[in-house]
A and B are shown apart, each in its own frame.
Chain A
């Protein structure tokens, strides 16, 4: 039930259609009735975070979460990354939404003893414990100055698409066979999880990058149950057209884990000028980040030869949180997922005419809000151009669904969950930290505010909140920053 869940009313059933595994064997069929509306959670992005490191100002952290809404007690087939999925983190530093640096992560699973169904046959005391039966490892590849998808086939792409300019490109395998952190099962199987397995899975590479892949506590926080219920915001239940008693928000991701790929990389390795930027209002200080997942193309019929052409088909992408789920209409979602940020111009009409803004207006009584008229070229558009990332109009970038991070803005030792709206210039939409309350921020953005500054965070707009201000388990103070995954043994009953 990945990121599709985070959507306002009317699109909610996509989550359930996703859960509809199959219209199974009907009455005596010699034909196949294979799953039709099938989820693909291992290839679904759920969240992307990017922030300057609070401990080392020369480092940038990027966290890409996948799969989502994982119950901790998920045995006997514990959730894994997809061996057949290409996971990528894309970084742009020229402002035009093409990739300058791409990290590619591929996974491989081995089962030590296929004659047992057990994930582990005893306590897992370390990443190399012989008791861990199902092991997953990964490789990290870094492509610099790449354009287009799938670096390994980049030369083929150049031949068939002249727009893939023959720029200088380097391609290095940074690591192979890196262990994925195993599942956090319980006190017998995974005693001392975080020291022995979680932290132990952090690897420092030769070039100074740090990497991690594995399950963590999902840091995102949002009241999906209420938002689904006709865009309800529990603290504002009385102001809704269908009023209910006010109530505190409920975090739908409470008790949930997620699969996370985390990178910590030197800022110099991704900026346009190869430096640590110091000037805030400068396009060269801003990078754009998005994450994606791709699957390999398949040819249905071949001539006996290999039937996978090797081209990667992007099936999921995520830059700015909630753009795909909230602003892109249902009929466009699949096309959106398959397209690159450089093509975002085609979708601008949906971003500038946001449906939820109309819903806010309709559901919360005209007296409460004065939502600006569409198209939202004066407030939402600039966010896509870097307005939230410290740039003034003279330095705006082409609009795209990228998480723009201004690397000249240092880490804020006293962060505020409302980010820019509370005068915290390191907060969303300048990058995204784990505790930034993107739901509240975006609901206020949708309700209107020109320009997007603390001056707009006043009544009535500042009353808009889903009532969930933080996660029930706080992030930790060390890389990979999301808290350790909740153990299956500790899963609370009645969890959704």
Chain B
């Protein structure tokens, strides 16, 4: 295990160095950690674009294709250095000041991926002005508005996007709009429609099948979620989200050691922060302290790598630190992060940090904004219950626990012992795992 760990850390360190030196030579981009078994369509796209640029260095369409290829590559290998490469290519085409609407669409998606939502909104508006009937431009607005907490505006843009082209991209966002407002059944309906609309193009449909699996799992339909993740793996073998879903099914079924082993495989393919944290959490729940610590040890490397490539994960880091590395300074830094991303994630993260540092009154105000939307996410509801109890409001705590136990409670981010203690304090019990 230790050797495996150091290999992982070295690989990530190498990527850090690559990013820090800002290598812009597209031909020798950073190598990914152990290659995914997924087909390398993006590699082909990148190679084709490079060949065209070799013949004709000033070909803007090849440059756009190259940037698009890099953005595609990230989702296969989770290497944020490709964001930096895409950024450099798009900068040559004028970046956010470009008059070319396709460049703006690419810039918008890059900014969203890096969690720079205010900038993404600005670019999205320019793209939408240039392409008033284009659903992708609306999609940039939807995502940016959501993350900036401007939910009424995101709803308008979502409806417009769905009016223009009710296909996979729009329907998955319709699903999200329903989900955050607490309509789980409607969210599942819409995501099922997205899956039907996306058929025939493996990665698209596999990704939304994974999202569908996540929704089903949240609602407590563990068996259906499992079938859906299996379908996603068939659509696009090796898709990390589908494999992570299978791990989360194991965890929901009360098999944390197996879940952790599965998640370790996922991390080997795509070391995303949420997967690494889940691996650590699953090992911890299985009472395997050493592997759990090893998993968490990767977190700092990922944080460094993300920041080196301009990806803002400050809120996710705050949530992690609240549970693993609490200091009073965390309140101020989380408030700062919140100003850039005043959405549901932000208020939840700040609420939890405040709660961990004993400031439940303030925490209650923060979490109230999240709960008011209606989102039935188990993390939000667990946080709300714990905060309400800490603030002395047993009725509210009990009401939040009611919502929580209607769905799946066994998720990364909720420590089983803490949930059990919360339930006991309210005179309740936690339901047993699903079969």
Contact = CB atoms under 8 A, between A and B. Distances in A.
A41 B165 CA distance: 12
A155 B278 CA distance: 54
A115 to B, nearest CB: 9
A42 B313 CA distance: 36
Interface stretch (A72-80, A121-129, A156-164, A352-360): A72-80
Interface string B225-252: 0000001001100001100000000000
A16 B65 contact: yes
Given A33-B113, A42-B199, A298-B170, A25 B68 contact: no
A26 interface: yes
A315 B165 contact: yes
A23 B109 contact: yes
Contacts of A16: 45, 64-65, 68-69
Interface string A17-33: 10111111111111111
A313 B165 contact: yes
A205 B389 CA distance: 70
Interface residues of A, number: 64
Interface stretch (B14-22, B129-137, B402-410): B129-137
B155 A300 contact: yes
B222 interface: no
Contacts of A32: 172-173, 176, 211
Interface string B181-192: 101001001100
Interface stretch (B201-209, B322-330, B332-340, B416-424): B201-209
Interface string B304-331: 0010000101001000000000000000
A31 B345 contact: yes
B295 to A, nearest CB: 14
B300 interface: no
B162 A298 contact: yes
Contacts of A41: 200-201
B274 interface: yes
A113 interface: no
B207 to A, nearest CB: 6
A35 interface: yes
B139 A335 contact: no
Contact of B172 (A30, A34, A313): A34
A472 interface: no
A76 B231 CA distance: 11
B88 interface: no
Interface string A29-65: 1111111111111110000000000000000000000
A369 to B, nearest CB: 23
A196 to B, nearest CB: 24
Given A13-B65, A334-B164, A27 B316 contact: yes
B220 interface: no
Contacts of A332: 133
Given A300-B155, A334-B133, A42 B208 contact: no
A84 interface: yes
A27 B68 CA distance: 19
Contacts of A84: 193, 196-197
Interface stretch (B55-63, B255-263, B286-294, B392-400): B55-63
A313 B176 contact: no
Contacts of A11: 61
A30 B346 CA distance: 10
Contact of A31 (B131, B205, B343): B343
B167 interface: yes
Contacts of B165: 40, 295, 313, 315, 334
Contacts of A9: 61
B384 interface: no
Interface residues on B, range: 35 or more
Contacts of A335: 132-133
A76 B65 CA distance: 28
B159 interface: yes
A25 B164 CA distance: 25
Contacts of A185: none
B201 A21 contact: yes
B131 A36 contact: no
Given A22-B204, A37-B169, A82-B199, A297 B162 contact: yes
Contact of A330 (B65, B131, B235): B131
Contacts of A28: 272-274, 277, 313, 316
B105 interface: yes
Contacts of A489: none
Interface string B152-164: 0001001100111
Given A17-B106, A22-B207, A42 B72 contact: no
A30 B165 CA distance: 26
A94 B170 CA distance: 37
Given A10-B60, A17-B102, A301 B166 contact: no
A167 interface: no
Contacts of A10: 60-61
Contacts of B235: 77
B234 A301 contact: no
B190 A298 contact: yes
Contacts of A25: 75, 78, 240-241, 270, 272, 274
A77 B206 CA distance: 11
Contacts of B178: 300-301
Interface stretch (B3-11, B140-148, B355-363): B140-148
Given A21-B201, A295-B166, A30 B113 contact: no
Interface in A271-304: 295-302
Interface string B89-131: 0000000000001100110011011110000000000000011
B281 interface: no
A89 B434 CA distance: 50
B113 A23 contact: yes
Nearest to A118: B234
Interface in A347-384: none
Contact of B61 (A13, A33, A300): A13
Among A11, A31, A33, find the residue whose CB has the most chain B CB atoms closer than 10 A. A31
B166 to A, nearest CB: 4
Nearest to B133: A334
A67 B200 contact: yes
Interface in B1-52: 41, 45, 52
A298 B197 contact: no
A478 interface: no
B69 A307 contact: no
- Most chain B CB neighbours (cut-off 10 Å) among A12, A32, A36: A36
A153 interface: no
Nearest to A316: B165
Interface in B262-302: 270, 272-274, 277, 302
B101 A26 contact: no
Contact of B109 (A31, A36, A79, A338): A36
A39 B201 contact: yes
A80 B200 contact: yes
A384 to B, nearest CB: 22
Contact of A36 (B112, B132, B147, B193): B112
B110 A35 contact: no
22 contacts: A13-B61, A20-B71, A21-B72, A22-B207, A25-B270, A25-B274, A26-B74, A29-B274, A29-B345, A33-B143, A35-B169, A35-B204, A35-B207, A36-B169, A38-B168, A228-B61, A298-B162, A300-B158, A300-B159, A300-B162, A313-B166, A330-B131
Interface of B: 41, 45, 52, 55-56, 59-61, 64-65, 68-69, 71-72, 74-76, 78, 80, 101-102, 105-106, 109-110, 112-115, 130-136, 139-140, 143, 146-147, 155, 158-159, 162-174, 176-178, 181, 183, 186, 189-190, 193-194, 196-205, 207-208, 211, 231, 234-235, 240-241, 270, 272-274, 277, 302, 306, 311, 313, 316, 343-345, 348, 377, 379
Given A26-B114, A331-B131, 7 more contacts: A17-B64, A21-B203, A22-B207, A28-B272, A38-B204, A41-B201, A300-B177
The 4 closest A-B pairs by CB, nearest first: A24-B75, A28-B273, A334-B133, A34-B172
